[in-house]
Amino acid sequence: MNFELLTQLIVNGLIVGLLYGVIGMCFVLVYKSTQIVNFAQGEFLLIGAWVCWASLIYLELPFFVGFLLSLCFMAAFGVLLQMVVLRPMIGEPIISVIMVTIGLSIFFQALMKWIFGISPQSYPQVFENQSINIFGLNIEMAYLMSTVIALVIMLAFYFFFKHSKHGLAMRATAFDQQVAQSLGISVKQVFAMSWGIAATVSATAGVVIGMVNGVSDSLSIMGIKVFPAVILGGLDSIVGAIVGGITIGILENVAEFFDSQYLHVGNMYDIAPFYVLLIILWFKPYGLFGTKDIERI
């Protein structure tokens, strides 16, 4: 057994898993406050990464300026999307809402392919040296940055929801929309805000992943890979999303390791999370931390 490779893979899994956790958190945030399952989450990553790339290449801005610019753009984009497309869908059956986000996902994926082409593009060099050595493990700088960013985002989420007025409003809306409305919370504003936050944070993740792998169409797959993570943790638990994300990130790397060493089935990296997803749904239909649906007649 190749322990060195295994540790390296587990560390990689942990780092990628943190990113899954961040994307999963956005997903749960939108689901909790607006009851919408966002199948277009991956496209947020994609659009964010492309906008950032375009601002660096065409406008030739320095990295952090372009990065901030694309975040502002994504915040506006998320709010606008909620106002134009998703507001009319409030109160519609769940399949319609799912299908609208799927429609958005198809549309933006095709639009991005149309505008930017299908070949992957890489960001200009941001760090001096590409990777550093920590305890004998090779870690790419971008990954290190992504870990820091992921942790900062998670902390920011924590403080936002615990200690800010808007966070409290969002929690109240998630708890009971009608009660929240009667207490003077603007539910419309909360909905728009949650989409804005989700788009911005997803775009951050998109840029970070784009720095490592290059920006391409495949970024939108992240939006689908996040499903096993959120289901594992339960759809309406933010902590669950983080735990689920890390678990899935490690799991896919470990599955890849065992596959390449012993099984030789191939493609385990992409497919193992979905097997896990099915098994979880079989035994715990509401995930590990999700609230069970109890219905009264």
- The residues binding another protein (CB under 8 A) are 37, 85, 88-89, 92, 94-96, 98-100, 102-111, 113-114, 224, 227-228, 231, 235, 265-267, 270-271, 274-275, 277-278, 281-282, 285-286, 295, 297
Report, in Å, the least distance between residue 117 CB and another protein.
10
**CA-CA distance, 45 to 210, in Å (whole number)?**
9
CA angle 24, 253, 137 (to 5 degrees): 105
Least distance CB 243 / another protein (angstroms): 17
Are 110 and 48 within 8 A, CB to CB?
no
Give the Å distances, CA to CA, from 113 to 71, 108, 200, 210, 213: 21, 8, 21, 15, 17
151 versus 279: smaller Cβ distance to another protein: 279
Residue with tokens 């936002």: 160
Identify whether the C-beta of residue 223 lies closer than 8 Å to the C-beta of residue 43.
yes
Which CB sits closer to another protein, 103 or 120? 103
Q: Please say which residue, 172 or 230, places its beta carbon nearer to another protein.
A: 230
Q: Could you give the CA distance from residue 61 to residue 53 in angstroms, rounded to a whole number?
A: 10
Query: To the nearest whole angstrom, how small is the minimum distance from the Cβ of residue 59 to another protein?
Result: 21
**Residue among 62 and 103 whose Cβ is closer to another protein:** 103
CB of 8 to another protein, least distance (A): 25
